[in-house]
Amino acid sequence: MNDQKRRTFRPRNQRSGFRPRSNSGQNSNSHFRSNGGGNINRNNGSMTNPFNVEKTAQKYQQLAKDANTSGDPVLYENYLQHAEHFNRRLAELNVKPKEQKIESSNLSKPSIDASVEKKEVI
């Protein structure tokens, strides 16, 4: 063995046998998938779980308090804006299930007013 001899660094070729996994016919850029409305969905789930959103909002509120006590008004406002964003997102998430319940209950129940109007016509 020739352990005393130092080897020089040789950078790897970009195509050194690396083969990405096959996506079975899907788009190769799987990180960003459009949901048809033009919005990019990142599929990490962090913004769809109300617990995570609430926790993140509380984190930014605490960071804003810390920045305020350290005397940095710009950072304080920055963190407050972040906290406000996550609070708005949390409000959206809390409204969506209620709207879905109302829509599903309206679709499953026949309208009572329509049946009353039919009886009056007869």
Question: Which residues face 40 on adjacent strands?
Answer: 34
* Angular region, 41: left φ>0, alpha ψ -120 to 50, beta rest: beta
Residues of the chain short of pLDDT 70, as ranges, are 1-3, 12-46, 108-122
Tell me, what DSSP letter sits at residue 55? Answer: H
Global pTM reads 0.48
If you search the block for the tokens 């906290």, which residue do you land on? 83
pLDDT in tens, 19-48: 666 666 555 555 555 455 555 445 455 678
CA 75/CA 85 separation, integer angstroms: 15
Cα–Cα distance measured from residue 83 to residue 92, given in angstroms and rounded to the nearest whole number: 14
Q: What is the mean pLDDT of the chain?
A: 75
